[in-house]
Every structure is written in C-alpha cells, then in structure tokens.
C-alpha cells in the first residue's frame, strides 16, 4: 500500500531527504517545509507546464487528468464507514486535498481548508480531504481530525484514487510529496494545483480562486 511505503521511506531516510513525502511530527518538520513549493495553476495548459517542471511532463499531466476523471465515481470511505464519491459534488467547485497524519504541513493547511469550507458552506463549494492513512490508523486519523479542526468532508484516498491524482508527481525519493491540493471548477476542469503548503497560498488565496470559479457560468 502507498501509505505503508511512505511510512517506511520516512523512517529510513527522513534526515537525508530534501523533498520528502513523509513528514514525521517529531523529526521531520524541516524536511516537509523543504518540499517542492506550491505551484499555482490557472488553466489546464498551466497545469501541464507546472507538472512538467516537477518532472512529470505534459504527457503525464494529460494522462493524470484522464485518470482523475476515471476515478471520479470511485467510492470513498469516510472514517465512520459511510461512502461518498467525488461525482456526488458534480456542478460544485471541488477542492481536493491529499494529506496524512504524519505530515506537519498538512496540519497547517487543514485549518485553512476548514475556514474555506465554513465560509462557502451555503454555496456550491465542497472541500474534500483524502487521507493517505490506512484504515487501521482510524484512531490516529480521528484524533488528527479533531485536533486540527477538519470540519469538511473526509475520506480515505485508497490506492486507485491516490494513483490517479498523484502518479507522475514523485520527487527524488520516488514518492509524491504531500500535501497536494487540487481545485476543480464547476465544469470539472482542474483550475488550481498546489504542492506543499505556503502561507502565500493560504485562505485568502483559496478564497479568491473559489470566488472566481463561482462567478463563472
């Protein structure tokens, strides 16, 4: 499983990684902060260019968008065992964040997403956090959700969805860094893509992106 690989890689190599996917709370805050900086994307062509800059290339970017479309109706399990699909939010601006309990920058970004979800709760906006933790980490995940204040939709990413979204974004460790955040317009198109967390792309930035998308017919 992807999350098990990430844990193993982190424990063995966290001190040597400059661009790390796995961030242990006690030992690797610096490593996570050194992850690839956020790359804002304002159009599908920019998305290809940004992923090309990370080594993914335009072909991979196009393949990812097709792969993402292919898992839009994939069942996602919530911590309480109920299910949802990203396609349930069709017609909304959808913000999808990949996170994990062992990632300090995820802890920084989550409250921003909670505020975003709260602000737009009565509008066509859905914030979705997809955890890379295993279901066996349920207690840890629930504790993280409570402490960080993740009041938006939460589910376990699963291997198919993780692969569709994150394949091709791997760094020098061979693994994709987190958090990774994707914003889709009401028409389902990818309009923003951020890797890592940076205050300059916090709540005010996300509010502008969402507001712009809501204004589009």
Chain segment 83-116, per-residue pLDDT in tens: 999 999 999 999 999 999 999 999 999 999 999 9
Grade residue 3 by pLDDT with cuts at 50, 70 and 90: low
Lowest mean pLDDT segment, chosen from 3-7, 66-70, 173-177: 3-7
Residue 87 has a CB neighbour count (10 Å cut-off) of 13
């Amino acid at each position: 499983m992807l999350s098990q690989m990430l844990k193993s890689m982190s424990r063995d190599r966290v001190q040597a990684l400059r661009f790390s996917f796995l961030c242990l709370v006690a030992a690797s805050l610096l490593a996570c902060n050194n992850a690839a900086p956020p790359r804002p994307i304002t159009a599908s062509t920019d998305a290809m260019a940004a992923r090309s800059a990370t080594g993914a290339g335009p072909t991979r970017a196009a393949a990812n968008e097709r792969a993402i479309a292919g898992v839009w109706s994939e069942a996602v399990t919530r911590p309480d065992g109920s299910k949802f699909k990203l396609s349930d939010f069709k017609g909304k601006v959808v913000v999808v964040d990949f996170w994990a309990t062992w990632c300090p920058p995820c802890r920084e970004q989550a409250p921003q997403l909670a505020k975003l979800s709260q602000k737009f709760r009565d509008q066509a906006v859905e914030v979705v956090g997809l955890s890379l933790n295993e279901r066996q980490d349920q207690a840890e995940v629930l504790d993280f959700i409570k402490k960080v204040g993740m009041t938006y939709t939460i589910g376990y990413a699963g291997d198919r969805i993780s692969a569709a979204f994150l394949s091709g974004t791997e760094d020098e460790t061979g693994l994709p860094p987190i958090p990774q955040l994707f914003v889709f317009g009401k028409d389902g198109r990818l309009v923003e893509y951020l890797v890592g967390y940076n205050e300059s792309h916090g709540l005010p930035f996300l509010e502008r992106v969402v507001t712009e998308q809501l204004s589009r017919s």
